[in-house]
Amino acid sequence: MVEPKVTVYGAYWCPDCRRSKKFLGENFIPFRWVDIEQDKKGEAHVLQRNDGKRIIPTIVFEDDTFLVEPSNAELAKKLGLKTEASKTYYDLIIIGGGPSGLTASIYASREGADVLLIERSGLGGQAGITVGLDNFPGFPEGISGQEFSDRVAQQARRFGVEILQAVDVERLEMEEGYHEVYTSDGKHYHSRVVLIATGATYRRLGVPGEDDYIGAGIHFCATCDGPFYKGASEIVVVGGGNSAVEEGLHLTNFAEKVTLLVRGDRLTASQIAIDKVNEPNSRIEVKYNTIVDAIEGANSKLKTIKYHFKDSDKMEELHPAAFIFIGQIPNTTVLKDYAELDTYGFVLTGHDLTHDEHLGEHSPLPFETSIPGIFAAGDARHGSTKQVASAVGEGAAASISIREFLRRSH
């Protein structure tokens, strides 16, 4: 376990505290959380730092400096994250610093292309928050997602990729064959080619109360928030697929028991994961055919998860924290109403577009979208297999198509 170098003093009811914790979590910055409602010494510390004022979050860093109610941009600056590019024009701009984006950046930069990679949170994407990668070739003992991501990012930097973090790409435009990439901090950059490697995001239940308790009892990332529940008697996991089962198994490291609420009548995870759940000492109980109805709490803290059984009026409730793993939504808003997407929002590329009547003369290369010069790879792409190894493979393959595109357009 990495020793936290940052301490966040706050309270469970404070939205800015939740935002700061989320930002630190997403950027893989280990931090210690002190709830000043529960911790009198913590409260005294906040009062002492703020001339007797009880302002939260107060965030104290390794060098004993501190920030009070910082914006995400201020936090990024303090943490030394690079948020501004050195130039305005690049051969290739990659949006997304997960396995596919980072791999494409290594290939393209190593061949001499000028590459800017823009990531809105922590490098590594979903792989970065994966507890352990057991199925990535070359690591016979497995590797933690965090270490894997650090290594790939290090390799990208070695080949000269310029990487921005905590910067969100909001919009794309095309002007005279060049693409313009607009970011959340009001800047924009130009390139010949853009690679969409934006992956996917956790799906929410959409039940009353869910949004109110995110970070205060409702979680989507066991790696980030699981340790907060060390010693808990029970944790709920909602979902029955791979993520739910794997993360449920991981959460047994912290809680005595994990209860899985599964909408269907079976688990849809890999057989290895299902076998682990079914081991006599797994400490996981599965409740099938259950539908979560509401999440309730008091004083901004989760108290109750209410659910019922399908085909019956039987209602039940549980009172621990809940981790929700019910699928993903592609992060493709930048392409909405621009490039062709499938009905779920995943990006169509290459052969998927062969019969598209809107394309005109444009005959897309493999991994190229319906917009010439915009490519897509990894989990955001229609037909991708949602694994680290395949995301890495798609990043490499897309970069070869990008090389061909650049060669043709010179």
Ligand X SMILES: Cc1cc2nc3c(=O)[nH]c(=O)nc-3n(C[C@H](O)[C@H](O)[C@H](O)COP(=O)(O)OP(=O)(O)OC[C@H]3O[C@@H](n4cnc5c(N)ncnc54)[C@H](O)[C@@H]3O)c2cc1C
Question: Which residues lie near ligand X (CB under 6 A)?
Answer: 95-101, 118-121, 125-127, 130, 133-135, 168-169, 197-200, 243, 246-247, 331, 334, 378-379, 386-389, 391
| Least gap, CB of 253 to ligand X (angstroms) | 15
| Least gap, CB of 104 to ligand X (angstroms) | 9
Taking the C-alpha atoms of residue 234 and residue 295, their distance in angstroms, rounded to an integer, is 16
Question: Of the two residues 135 and 278, which places its CB atom closer to ligand X in the complex?
Answer: 135
Q: What does the DSSP 8-state code read for residue 105?
A: H
Q: What does the DSSP 8-state code read for residue 168?
A: -
The verdict on whether omega for the bond into residue 57 sits within 30 degrees of 0, i.e. cis, is: yes
| Chain position whose Cβ is nearest to ligand X | 199
CA atoms within 13 A on the CB side of 96: 32
Question: Of the two residues 239 and 320, which places its CB atom closer to ligand X in the complex?
Answer: 239
Question: Of the two residues 35 and 379, which places its CB atom closer to ligand X in the complex?
Answer: 379
158 touches 63 (CB < 8 A)? no
- Sheet with 315-318, strands from edge to edge, namely 290-298, 301-309, 315-318
| Least gap, CB of 99 to ligand X (angstroms) | 4
Taking the C-alpha atoms of residue 35 and residue 88, their distance in angstroms, rounded to an integer, is 43
**Phi, then psi, of 145 in degrees rounded to 5:** -60, -35
27 touches 165 (CB < 8 A)? yes
Question: Of the two residues 163 and 295, which places its CB atom closer to ligand X in the complex?
Answer: 163
Question: Of the two residues 11 and 127, which places its CB atom closer to ligand X in the complex?
Answer: 127
> Which own/partner pairs from 35-39 qualify as long-range (CB within 8 Å, at least 24 positions apart)?
35/10, 35/11, 36/9, 36/10, 36/11, 37/11, 37/12, 37/13
Helices (H), 141-293: 145-158, 222-225, 242-251, 271-278
| Least gap, CB of 174 to ligand X (angstroms) | 17
| Least gap, CB of 262 to ligand X (angstroms) | 17
| Least gap, CB of 201 to ligand X (angstroms) | 8
Beta strands in 83-168 (DSSP E): 89-95, 115-118, 162-164
> Locate tokens 């800017």: which residue?
116
Question: Of the two residues 45 and 219, which places its CB atom closer to ligand X in the complex?
Answer: 219
Q: What does the DSSP 8-state code read for residue 63?
A: T
| Least gap, CB of 179 to ligand X (angstroms) | 14
| Least gap, CB of 374 to ligand X (angstroms) | 14
Neighbours of 53 (CB within 10 A): 11
| Least gap, CB of 266 to ligand X (angstroms) | 20
Question: Of the two residues 36 and 197, which places its CB atom closer to ligand X in the complex?
Answer: 197
The amino acid occupying position 51 is D
Question: Of the two residues 127 and 324, which places its CB atom closer to ligand X in the complex?
Answer: 127
324 touches 238 (CB < 8 A)? yes
Question: Of the two residues 247 and 340, which places its CB atom closer to ligand X in the complex?
Answer: 247
